[in-house]
Every structure is written in C-alpha cells, then in structure tokens.
A and B are shown apart, each in its own frame.
Chain A
C-alpha cells in the first residue's frame, strides 16, 4: 500500500503544475481582456505575428 504515497506525490505534482499554468495565464493577462483574442484569431494573417518574437524578449525584461 505504500505505493499510494508515491501516487499521492505524483498527483499533487500534477495538480501543482496545473496551478502554475493557471497563474501564468492570469499573469499574462488572459483574464483581463476576454474579447479581443476572440476577434484576433479570426484574422487570416495575424497582424502582429511577425514582430511578436522580437518583442517577446523585451516584454520579459519589462516584467
């Protein structure tokens, strides 16, 4: 039965990783604006994509 201890550990880790992903989503502002992304995804060529990678680094610095 002591295998249960291992399983509990794994399940907690899994749950913690979900919590971490949720935190990251909140931090990135996914819960601030619930409209714009729904429109943005319908554009054929996402307008900002090209420049995005370049700016990403800078954004990290900002935070």
Chain B
C-alpha cells in the first residue's frame, strides 16, 4: 500500500475524509463499517431520503460502543427512573442525542416508526437536541429503543444525572402567560380609555364613564394579581434582605397606579391610569422575555454526574453484571472497556491501562499506568479492557470530592451589585422624597386633594419603566451578539459581572494549550531516512495512541515489518534484516536517562538514539491576547503539571504574571478564594473537571471547549476554543455594554424629570401618562439596541452568522 498518496474521498454517510480501508457499496464510499451499516439499514428500510435532504448528514461511526453497553437498561428499576411516563403498554421517554445537527437528522429521527413498529411517535426538539419518544413496551423495550438509535448513528447520551428525576423546564411558559394576560388587558383597557384621550368625556360622561371605569378596573385586576406577581415577590424578597432592587420602585409604582386609579373611579373623580398600568407590565414582561434568551443545547449547571455513566460492569467471580454507579462499593472489581470512563478511584489489577484525562486536565497525551498503580476517576480507557478494584466510593474520589466543598452548596455570592440595583436604591429614596415634599407643600397650601394627587402621580410617573427596561434590553442584545461569536453566557447578569472583573486566572493545559494537537519533536541525534521510514512502519503496526501520532507525524513510505512484538505497558520491538528497533517508555529503554514527560524513546541496534517528545501547543493568537490583557488585568496561571513549561509561559506572560504549578483541583479553588479575600474580582478561565471548583468559586467562570456540545463543567459562560483569542474584545464589549446602560439611565431620568415637573404641580392627566410611559420605554429600547449594535459593529462582532 502506498501511504504517501493522499486520496480525498469523502464518506457518503458522515462526510469525513476516508483515510484507509475505504468501503465501497452501491458506488458510494464509506470511511468505516459503522457508517456503512447505518447506510445499509436505511437503504433496506427505504429511508434514503435522509441523504437527499442534506449532504453527508451522518455522524461518524468509528468509535462505537460495544453491544453490551446498554445492558443496564434491562434493569427495571433504572428504566423506571429514565421514563417520563408509563401507562399500560405505552411509555414515553426523552433522550438527549448529541449528534443531532441538521434537517436530515430531524427527518430520520421522526421516521423511526418505519424502522420499528413498536415506536409510536418520535418528535425532535432541535435546539435542545432531544427526542421525545412514545413506544409500545409490548413490542420494544427501552434498551432496544436505545440500541436502535445507536444503530442508526444517534447514540443517546445517558448520564448519572439522568437518574435524578427532572422534568423538562417550562419556566419560560409562565412569563409567556403573564405577557399574554398583560397584552390582552392592555389592548382592551386602551379601547375603553379612548373617549378619555379624545376629550369625548363630556359626551360619554353620564352613561358610560363609570361603566368604562369599572371595566378598566376589572381588566386591571388580573394584571396586578397575575402578571405583576414576580415583581412583587422579588421586591418583597429584597426588602426582607434589607436591600432595594429595581423591583422595589416598580412595585411601588404599580401599587400607586392601582390604588390611586381605583380611588379615582370609585369616587368618580377621574378615569384612572389603568392603561398605563397594563402598558407598563406589558413592556416589562417583553423585556424579561427578551433577556431570557438561553442556549438550550448548552448546560451551564453540569457537575460530575452528567459526565459519569449511569451503570458500570461489575465482576462477581467470573460473571459480569451491570450495576448502577451509586451502588458501587469499595472493594468491588469492575471492568472498564475501551472508551469507557473510570468511575471511581481504583487499583489496576489486570490489563494495560492507558488513560485519557483530556476532560479532566485537558492533557492531550494519554497516560499509561502499570499494574498495582492507583487510577483516579474521570479518565477514559484507551485500548483493551482493564480490570480495577475500587478503593473509594464514586462520590468521594480525588476528583468528585471537589463537589463536597461548600462553594457548590450555595448560590454564587452576590458581592458584585448590578448597576440597576445600585441606581434603584438612590432612585427609590429620591422619588419618595420628592413625593413627600410635594404632598406636604400642597397640604401646607391648604389643598389636600391636590396633595394626594401629587403624591400618587409622582410615584406613578417616576415608576422606572424606562429605567427597568434599559438593563434587560442592553444585556439581552449583548448576550445575543456574544453568542454569535461563539461566546455563550449563562445569563445576562454575567455580562455585568464580567465588566467588573480585575483579575484573570487561566488554567494551563487544555485552556492555553490545545487538547487535541500536541506538537511532536525529535530530541536526539539525527536519523537516516531509512531509519525514519522503519520507525513509521513499526508505528503503523501498533494501536497505541502515541504510535498512531508518530505514524501520522513522520513522512516517508511504509515498508513491511517482519517481526513485531508488543510488550504491554512498555513498548514494541520490531526487526528487519538491517535493523532491530525498540520503541517505548524511558524506564524500559533508557532507565539511565533523565525523565522527560510525554516522551517515546527510540533504540536502534542496541543504541539509544533519542526520543520523540509530545509538546503541548499553545493556542494561536495567545501571545497577542495576553499582551492586550496585561496592561489592564492581573494575570495568573494555574497548572496541574510540574514547572517544565515555566520558561515558555514566562516568555508569553511577561514578568508581572503569577505562575503556579502542581496545583490540585482543591488548590485551584483555594487560590481563587485567597484572591477574593484580597478583594480581587476574579474571572477564571478553565476547561476540565479539575477546574470545576475554581470556576464555581470565581465571580465569572468561563469554560473553554473545543466542541460546545461536549461536556463542560458548571460555569457562567462557555467559549468555543477558537474564540478565546477574542477575549480582550469581549471584555471591552462588556464594559461598553455597562456604559450603554448608564447612558440609557440618563435618558430615562430626563423623561422622569419632565413627567415629575407635571406631577408635582398635580397636573398629570391620564392622556399625558399614557403618552409619556410608552414613549419613554420605546425610545430607551431603540436607543440601547442601536447603541449595542453599533458597538458590536466596531468590534466586528456582527460579521458571523448565529450558530446556535
């Protein structure tokens, strides 16, 4: 086989480049048997429309789980926990399918009933990547459903957290209902207020004024009692905490509006301000919905349970059995197959362990472990199955113990007040002051009724509608703009916190360096072309991930290797007539040499030639990013590794930065705590499970990920790795968003001064209120949206298409 000729054949199923062993069927090429099998199934069931809707729609099938992977679903107890609903023969289940990505996926998954008659209905929720399935338990079991899905390339992701019963969140729905009620009442109240607006009052007065008044009152009731609920609740909560938030003046305004309008209607002295009341709630709720933009696909709340599997294979004598992870006990022996996760700290007692810790530490190169060594939970086994004896319960292991820290048991501290909270404190007191002073003035003048009117209308007109809208619309829009640039924030509040940060802490491995691309360097004496070709040929024979990388790295032709023996945990020996090659670990080949991390040593004809070193590669644009950040932030680097990289990092980060090595997950958390104790406001940028504590503890935790649909630990924001270099821009943009809020505050104050000047004189009429209120709201909304968009344009944030 000629290895040097590159062929660019794309797999018909998954669209990836076929590397070797192309399978050709029906004039179509497939990169692996997995992809071919899926095609076969679809072909046999007349479902090839799948391939017509989108080009190469499938997910790559190279790394598939084995057939017994879902055996645990036969356990009725576990099945009951996963099902949403079961009655008679019919069961409903919701599964998360990370592979869903195009319209073909939707079509195929909603055609499942054609593959198996037991499937009654399937419905895809594309943005959440979930499928809602109804199936007949007489005809198909949950295990068979899951296996059917994985057979066609959509393997459901089932994790430990799925066992904790949770209903799909319908939190948004309540806001929609409230908005509907407010909108309905707003429209109708406006209608009944028209005579008042157009001075038909005299004409209508005798017959209808009181009828319309009471109709408006009736329509106003649901607005106050239902739509405004959350504002009252939040205001009450703030007052009980002896604080004032934006909802306090809003609630005061709503109450003043309601009580004063009711009083006017009851006494027949006026038409009331119910139209303004309903309009206020309608706009406020619109702002709330706009701010609630969430990324359904992403989860910001994940802990280790959404990473660990539901079940594992336990060995009892010679028998394998599938048990739920929480049931695992110290002393149990378990079997971990290729690609499976180590669920708890254990001692290796059989097999060759090669553990990929990339999700934990971000480390690109798998670590090999020898018999009797302790293997920490969280890594996944690469290669043949291994057997472990559990030494710690899953929830107590080195990594998961982190979640027992108090940082995970209380909500993120609110030591960074939002702008609107600060402003509303002053605002409330000033408005109350003005209201009291003007009421007292009129009473002193001897006019009690104007005094009451002035007092209530000051509260009404100063009700911070525009003020309250500027934050949700500015932040909501910024959230969307950042999302377009692959920087996804958990909520709008996080932008404000981001703007106040003064210290940045970076994790090293996986955050600053790339997880999936290690640079290979040859250290030692120069090698001949034939020697290199021989090393390449030998590496082709081995399935060890490091061999595979050396094979891909080296140029040259591949020859036949006559004798090839693999020594578990040590390396390989290969022989040709001219050469005897030994390739493997330092301990095995050159125990006398200095230890080097992540190295593969080479010995040819009994002579140690040197080693291939796998060096972490720093992300592109890192230096530039750090240079920009340096001047404005305190920079820190926390690394779980030894200080081998110190010199390189020092060069990038400069003299002022603080570098720390050999940091355990708990150390990282403690370090953030110590910075906060010094009054710093910390942003942590990390990637793996070992950063989870620090991400949780910091004011803003950002999780870096190569693939946004993959697991990332709990955090405030998820950033796609290629966007990391834009971090300085994002930070500056968050500052500017905060300034936009300030500017729109100024604008709404201007409106308030105009309104107040009428109110203190007791001159505010319902028409004036009905015009002023929506006008100020609309201008503020337009102002903030245009300004944030203009700023985003300057940062060139608007050029990319939205991805989620």
B110 contacts A by Cβ under 8 Å: yes
Tell me the A1-34 residues at the B interface (CB within 8 Å).
Answer: 1, 4-5, 8, 11-12, 15-16, 18-19, 22-23, 26-27, 31-34
Our pick among A1, A15, A51 for the contact of B113 (Cβ within 8 Å) is A51
A4-B208, A12-B188, A36-B106 known; A31+B172 contact, CB < 8 A: yes
In the complex, chain A residues whose CB is within 8 Å of the CB of B106: 36, 39-40
Q: Which of B53, B110, B211, B215 has the most CB of A within 10 A?
A: B110
Tally of contact residues, B, Cβ under 8 A: 38
B110 near A47 (CB under 8 angstroms)?
yes
Bound state CA distance, A43 and B172, in angstroms? 29
B120 near A50 (CB under 8 angstroms)?
no
B588 contacts A by Cβ under 8 Å: no
Tell me the B116-144 residues at the A interface (CB within 8 Å).
Answer: 120-128, 134
In the complex, chain A residues whose CB is within 8 Å of the CB of B188: 11-12, 15
Which single residue of chain A is at the shortest CB-CB distance from B170?
A32
In the complex, chain A residues whose CB is within 8 Å of the CB of B111: 47-48
B120 near A62 (CB under 8 angstroms)?
no
In the complex, chain A residues whose CB is within 8 Å of the CB of B172: 31-32
B125 near A40 (CB under 8 angstroms)?
no
B87 contacts A by Cβ under 8 Å: yes
Tell me the B36-70 residues at the A interface (CB within 8 Å).
Answer: 53
B120 near A22 (CB under 8 angstroms)?
no
Q: Is the interface of A mostly helix, strand, loop or mixed?
A: helix
A32-B125, A58-B134 known; A26+B92 contact, CB < 8 A: no
Which single residue of chain A is at the shortest CB-CB distance from B130?
A33
* Closest chain B CB from A7 CB (angstroms): 11
A8-B215, A52-B121 known; A35+B113 contact, CB < 8 A: no
In the complex, chain A residues whose CB is within 8 Å of the CB of B180: 19, 22-23, 26
B184 contacts A by Cβ under 8 Å: yes
Which single residue of chain A is at the shortest CB-CB distance from B207?
A1
* Closest chain A CB from B118 CB (angstroms): 11
B621 contacts A by Cβ under 8 Å: no
Bound state CA distance, A45 and B280, in angstroms? 45
A48 near B113 (CB under 8 angstroms)?
yes
Our pick among B85, B187, B192, B211 for the contact of A62 (Cβ within 8 Å) is B85
A15-B188, A19-B184, A55-B120 known; A36+B126 contact, CB < 8 A: yes
In the complex, chain A residues whose CB is within 8 Å of the CB of B208: 4
A15 near B125 (CB under 8 angstroms)?
no
A15-B188, A62-B85 known; A48+B123 contact, CB < 8 A: yes
A60 contacts B by Cβ under 8 Å: no
Bound state CA distance, A15 and B90, in angstroms? 39
B661 contacts A by Cβ under 8 Å: no
* Closest chain A CB from B569 CB (angstroms): 49
A33 near B173 (CB under 8 angstroms)?
no
Which single residue of chain B is at the shortest CB-CB distance from A18?
B184
Our pick among B87, B107, B215 for the contact of A47 (Cβ within 8 Å) is B107
B20 contacts A by Cβ under 8 Å: no
In the complex, chain B residues whose CB is within 8 Å of the CB of A16: 184
Which single residue of chain B is at the shortest CB-CB distance from A34?
B127
B103 near A42 (CB under 8 angstroms)?
yes
Bound state CA distance, A8 and B170, in angstroms? 35
B187 near A39 (CB under 8 angstroms)?
no
A31 near B176 (CB under 8 angstroms)?
yes
Bound state CA distance, A30 and B125, in angstroms? 11
* Closest chain A CB from B107 CB (angstroms): 6
A55 near B121 (CB under 8 angstroms)?
yes
Bound state CA distance, A31 and B173, in angstroms? 8
Top 9 closest A-B pairs, CB basis? A47-B110, A47-B111, A36-B126, A55-B121, A39-B103, A19-B184, A26-B176, A22-B180, A35-B126
With A4-B208, A31-B172, A55-B134 given, name 11 new contacts (CB 8 A): A1-B207, A16-B184, A22-B180, A26-B176, A32-B170, A33-B125, A33-B127, A39-B126, A48-B113, A51-B113, A52-B121
Q: Which residues of A contact B (CB under 8 A)?
A: 1, 4-5, 8, 11-12, 15-16, 18-19, 22-23, 26-27, 31-36, 39-40, 42-43, 47-48, 50-52, 54-55, 58, 61-62
12 CB-based A-B contacts, threshold 8 Å: A11-B191, A19-B181, A22-B180, A31-B173, A32-B172, A36-B106, A39-B103, A48-B121, A51-B113, A54-B120, A55-B121, A61-B87
